[in-house]
Amino acid sequence: MEPGIATRMQYISPFYVMELLQLAKQLERQGRDVIHMEIGEPDFPTPKGVLEAGRQCLHDGQIKYTAATGLQPLREAIGQYYFDRYRIQVAVERIFITPGATGAFLLALGSSLNPGEEIIMADPCYPCNNNFVRLFGGTTQYVKATAETNFQLNAELIRHHWNEHSKGVVVASPSNPTGTLISPDDLKQSVEQTLALKGCFYSDEIYHGLVYKDKAVSALQFSDKAFVINSFSKFFGMTGWRVGWLVVPEAFIDPVEKLAQNIFISTPTQSQYAALACFSRENLEELDRRAAVFAERKDYLYKRLIELGFEVEAEPQGAFYIYANCSRYTDDTFKFAKDLLLAEAVAVTPGKDFGHNRENLYIRFAYTASVDRMSAALDRLEQFLCQYPK
Ligand SMILES: Cc1ncc(COP(=O)(O)O)c(C=O)c1O
């Protein structure tokens, strides 16, 4: 490595899909119509009322720093949201507004993880979590997750993998890349087990709201000692605004505030005002309609992938991803994804981006495109598969 570059950088992984994205852009410059099923953000625009609130804030020139904890009315609206959707009371002082779930994770881990300590997480999972742990000098213990546990951890797995270096556990439900949920019982027992081991429980609830049959439960329903990470990016459709939130155990209020003051000062002010408009009745109804569209897309994509010979080991219950086992066709999904892009201009994300658990056998398909676009993509995929023996 070049002198001067921190040694920790060797542990920070890039997004491998970026290589494919660059290739996709190149193809688009050549006039090819690339269908994007690799993108992890809703294709819907920011809802009108939210956009309007952001515009109004800029128009009024209300764009000074806010408190590091966030805009008070937004924290209160989130507190009310917990009551309305989950029937739980969350003290407003425990709610911090952050630059996305990303900012929430940085505050949660930065305030709780010591160098040398280890965080347990399921493999496959969202890749940035490990990189955050590394940034704070920690290590990750990946636990291979399978369809047997819905690609989630449970109390038994946590107990089994806990050791003298363990500091905490990350659970994301619905999961990226599998879209699967942890059951309410498993979440409850996992929280209780982690706290009994004197660990920290970090619950990534960013895909709540995008859950199609069952209901997602929050770790806060079982304990006020869990860290809960959430965001306006996915269900609320505000990716580029960079606004999310973190709920912390009471003992962490002061440390997290101190850290937020230093590393962010505050979350973008106009984004916080825009986020406040998310909680109007009309907006929440619009978001629920969008969630219903995602549910239809999921059913469509799931059915077609199975017909094409892909195996989906655990049917997704939320988010906007299907993690398909492609072993019938390849044991190198990075190459498969690249070949598919070059031949048929369909972009997908190879399993390599989500961990080390038979990752070369999987592809993540995102249904962040309309059924019409997906239908065209799947026809192209079918064409691409003609080269493989039946
Ligand atoms: C599971 C998960 N957590 C966190 C994030 C980060 O989201 P944000 O845009 O709120 O920073 C993502 C983004 O894709 C995600 O999939």
pLDDT in tens, 152-202: 999 999 999 999 999 999 999 999 999 999 999 999 999 999 999 999 999
pLDDT at 364 over 90: yes
Residue 171 CA to ligand 1 centre (angstroms): 13
Residue 386 CA to ligand 1 centre (angstroms): 35
Residue 389 CA to ligand 1 centre (angstroms): 38
Q: Kindly state the helix (H) or strand (E) to which residue 106 belongs, with its residue range.
A: helix 100-110
Residue 125 CA to ligand 1 centre (angstroms): 11
Report the candidate in 192, 241, 239, 231 with the shortest Cα–Cα distance to residue 81: 231
Nearest protein Cα to ligand 1, atom 16: 176
Which residues have C-beta within 8 Å of that of residue 369, sequence separation ≥ 6? Answer: 35, 36, 37, 43, 377
pTM above the 0.75 mark? Answer: yes
Nearest protein Cα to ligand 1, atom 13: 40
pLDDT at 388 over 90: no
- Please tell me what DSSP assigns to residue 361: G
The neighbouring-strand residues paired with 228 are 203, 247
Does ligand 1 come within 6 angstroms of the Cβ of 319?
no
Q: How far apart are CA 321 and CA 325, in angstroms?
A: 13
Does ligand 1 come within 6 angstroms of the Cβ of 231?
yes
Least confident range of 2-11, 129-138, 218-227, 274-283: 2-11
Report the candidate in 147, 164, 126 with the shortest Cα–Cα distance to residue 13: 126
Does ligand 1 come within 6 angstroms of the Cβ of 244?
yes
Residue entry with tokens 């305030």 = 111
pLDDT at 389 over 80: no
Does ligand 1 come within 6 angstroms of the Cβ of 169?
no
Which domains can be identified in the chain, with CATH numbers?
A: 7-45+283-384 (3.90.1150.10), 48-280 (3.40.640.10)
Atom of ligand 1 nearest to the CA of 105: 4
Confidence of residue 228 (pLDDT cuts 50, 70, 90): very high
Give pLDDT, residue 1. Answer: 72
Q: Answer yes or no: are the C-beta atoms of 212 and 62 closer than 8 Å.
A: no
Report the candidate in 44, 179, 216, 200 with the shortest Cα–Cα distance to residue 110: 200
Residue 350 CA to ligand 1 centre (angstroms): 18
Confidence of residue 15 (pLDDT cuts 50, 70, 90): confident
Output the six-digit token pair for 251: 């003992």
Q: How far apart are CA 333 and CA 348, in angstroms?
A: 10
Average pLDDT, the chain: 96
Residue 229 CA to ligand 1 centre (angstroms): 9
Q: How far apart are CA 229 and CA 103, in angstroms?
A: 9
Task: Write the burial class of residue 213 (CB in 10 Å: 0-12 exposed, 13-18 middle, 19+ buried).
Answer: exposed
Give pLDDT, residue 214. Answer: 83
* Cα angle: 26, vertex 386, 326; to 5 degrees: 75
Residue 112 CA to ligand 1 centre (angstroms): 20
Give pLDDT, residue 14. Answer: 87
Does ligand 1 come within 6 angstroms of the Cβ of 126?
yes
Residue 119 CA to ligand 1 centre (angstroms): 18
pLDDT at 279 over 80: yes
Does ligand 1 come within 6 angstroms of the Cβ of 353?
no
Atom of ligand 1 nearest to the CA of 239: 9
CA distances for 149 relative to 159, 164, 353, angstroms: 15, 25, 21
CA 352, 350, 124, 259 torsion-angle sign: positive
The neighbouring-strand residues paired with 203 are 171, 228
Q: Answer yes or no: are the C-beta atoms of 283 and 277 closer than 8 Å.
A: yes
pLDDT at 390 over 80: no
Number of H helices, E strands in the chain: 12, 12
Give pLDDT, residue 178. Answer: 98
Does ligand 1 come within 6 angstroms of the Cβ of 56?
no
Report the candidate in 124, 69, 285, 108 with the shortest Cα–Cα distance to residue 199: 108
Atom of ligand 1 nearest to the CA of 99: 11
The CB-based long-range contact list for 221-225 (8 Å cut-off, 24+ gap) reads 221/86, 221/88, 221/188, 222/187, 222/188, 222/191, 222/192, 223/191, 223/192, 223/195, 224/90, 224/94, 224/249, 224/250, 225/195, 225/201, 225/249
What's the one-letter identity of residue 274? A
Does ligand 1 come within 6 angstroms of the Cβ of 100?
yes
DSSP-derived pairing of the beta strands 139-144 and 118-123 = parallel
Does ligand 1 come within 6 angstroms of the Cβ of 206?
yes
Confidence of residue 3 (pLDDT cuts 50, 70, 90): confident
Which residues have C-beta within 8 Å of that of residue 185, sequence separation ≥ 6? Answer: none
SS3 per residue for 339-360: HHHHHHCEECEEHHHHCCCCHH
DSSP-derived pairing of the beta strands 35-36 and 244-247 = unpaired
Q: Answer yes or no: are the C-beta atoms of 287 and 123 closer than 8 Å.
A: no
pLDDT at 2 over 90: no
Least confident range of 39-43, 47-51, 228-232, 324-328: 39-43
- Counting ligand 1 atoms within 8 A of each CB, the residue from 210, 234, 235, 245 with the most, and so the one to mutate, is 234
Half-sphere exposure of 159 (CA within 13 A, CB side): 9
Does ligand 1 come within 6 angstroms of the Cβ of 47?
no
Residue 101 CA to ligand 1 centre (angstroms): 6
Q: Tell me what the mean pLDDT of segment 115-143 comes to.
A: 97
